[in-house]
A and B are shown apart, each in its own frame.
With several copies, the nearest count.
Chain A
């Protein structure tokens, strides 16, 4: 079966969406240039023209309000932010309008807007080019939030988002872009709220989102050599969150590490832990552990980045702690 990189899978999702429905339009700074946002939009402008594939003024707020208007009028816009950090200017449009549009129109009007945001990491991106706030989006009602870890999921979730009815944020971690896995050629869907077991195991559940998934899988390999059989589940979407899968897995292993590549306090790892706690906390054989970024902004220096971002070894340590 054919393998694609994460970036190629995104490109294929967008190409297929634009081909399937001419209501699909793509907007973002530089989306119509050859390099195409790390390859994810390359070729679209040549194929579908610069009206449907629109280089935008550096005006993220307008770009987002305008997407609301476009969606109201029947289009299915896809917005692209080269860094998540650039979208903060658009949070009024998202929180005060987009997220509550369906609600306050009593379902008479809904907004199929897909917002692709790339989370920077490494090479000194620093505090203004590396934030991820998927937990904010999960907290805000009215948005769906995908945090795909594989090329397969990313393609399917983008298509599902574009052809769904509700506004959706797709969190794409930059470190995943050159990783590749099997991706079917057809236009397929991956549903929101459906996680997947990436590696079955008996001893402990590692519940992960996004870039934490490949790290956890590598850690699982190491831990297996120590005789720890770790189950890695990929929740895929932060909202809705696949509670059933989570609880089923923890019900089996009775141990939990909640892993998220986001800040610690009030983040997705806290949500995962709260779900387990309120549903089956007393069945756990050990107190669970969170594996997250510290409550800190991102340092630039490579040696501090090392320290800041959790890696395989950090995961192994956390797991060993829970295994006791």
Chain B
């Protein structure tokens, strides 16, 4: 079989169609609903960003990249860990974290997921084991450690890292691949290859479009797919996750595309960094439209159902905006308490206080050895 690559996907032209063979209707609907909700959410945030100028933080939107997170959302468990990069919203929703807390966080409010300390690009939702962060490749090593912990604890939970192809430029990425394969960790690396790091195309940074091949050489199981087929993404992620639970670390490389600018609500195509027909090609292969077509053909979706869905989502979004805007600002910060724990419950429990004065602190000396 020929390897899927960005070139092979372009060469194929419009995607022949999502196959729903053997797919439960609820599953298709769940994927569809997740993607539509994420899409509308992003569109609304983009629309609201500048007129209001109240979301004062860098935001990396993910229009066009809805499918992988949709797939993951149906496979990952609450106890599993998910660590992701700067483009957080898709991953945040994949873990089931609430929209209100996201919006309020972006508005810098006390009710935000992190009380306004993190914003969009560093948001976390610890109660659901979700953590984002904006330094490239950081989440990959951290997920690897969380997976190692599961192994040491004998749990059957896994850790997932969500990131873009840019993360594989960093050496830290390959340390993680080596270690995951060495220890056979329960970890899945989900790489959304959207072809660009900011504005720099992959071929400007890497000699070949072969991240999966490299990872395979490191001993990790790899899957390379056309990412905008949400059903295929679901099958692939399911397989990778099942493998990970059985101790087979995996990398899924899903080719996709970002419609919006790299950061912020503005379009950044003035930078001339990508051909407009490339963008057009990928919009023509919209993951939502592709699934919608298949579902419509299979009579799993009709205008009325879609309309109802849209209304439901619009209402949730309106509520989230209202919640965020009406929420209180954070109280004045106690810097020390924010940066350092004020309690040490485990030490209190396990360790004794001794009066050091009662011990002779005189040191006997010896000559240290040469190395």
Contacts and interface: CB of A to CB of B under 8 A. Distances in A.
Contacts of B146: 69-70, 72-73
A59 B351 contact: no
Contacts of A96: 133, 135, 138
A304 B175 contact: no
A148 B200 CA distance: 30
A34 B270 CA distance: 9
A159 B351 contact: yes
B361 A129 contact: no
B365 interface: yes
Contacts, number: 334
A308 interface: yes
Contact of A300 (B122, B182, B336): B122
B178 interface: yes
B288 to A, nearest CB: 29
Interface in B107-162: 108-109, 112, 114-119, 121-122, 124, 126-127, 129, 131, 133-136, 138, 140-150, 152-153, 159
B353 A89 contact: no
Given A74-B153, A124-B108, A175-B368, A21 B350 contact: yes
A166 B340 CA distance: 7
Interface in A1-43: 1, 3, 5, 20-21, 25, 29-30, 33-35
A202 interface: no
Interface stretch (A177-185, A281-289, A312-320): A177-185
A214 interface: yes
B115 to A, nearest CB: 4
Interface stretch (A188-196, A242-250, A253-261): A188-196
Contacts of A166: 340-341
A214 B273 CA distance: 37
B56 A103 contact: no
B357 to A, nearest CB: 8
A248 B109 CA distance: 42
Contacts of A69: 81, 83, 141-149, 159
Contacts of B353: 188-189
Given A123-B371, A126-B122, A152-B361, A164 B142 contact: no
Nearest to B201: A55
A165 B339 CA distance: 11
A190 B344 CA distance: 13
A127 interface: yes
Interface string A63-82: 01111111111111000000
Given A72-B142, A301-B329, A124 B57 contact: yes
A93 B144 CA distance: 13
A166 B145 CA distance: 17
Given A70-B149, A75-B149, A97-B135, A178 B366 contact: yes
A152 B364 CA distance: 13
Contacts of B24: none
A86 B133 CA distance: 13
Nearest to A51: B152
Interface string B265-286: 0000011110000000000000
B145 A214 contact: no
Contact of B126 (A75, A109, A165, A301): A109
Which 7 pairs, one residue from A and one from B, show the smallest C-beta to C-beta distance?
A69-B145, A65-B141, A124-B57, A66-B145, A301-B108, A301-B116, A73-B149
25 contacts: A55-B200, A55-B205, A56-B205, A58-B197, A58-B205, A61-B175, A64-B141, A69-B83, A70-B149, A102-B339, A103-B338, A104-B118, A108-B127, A109-B131, A126-B119, A127-B117, A141-B335, A150-B363, A178-B367, A179-B363, A188-B351, A196-B361, A214-B363, A299-B116, A304-B116
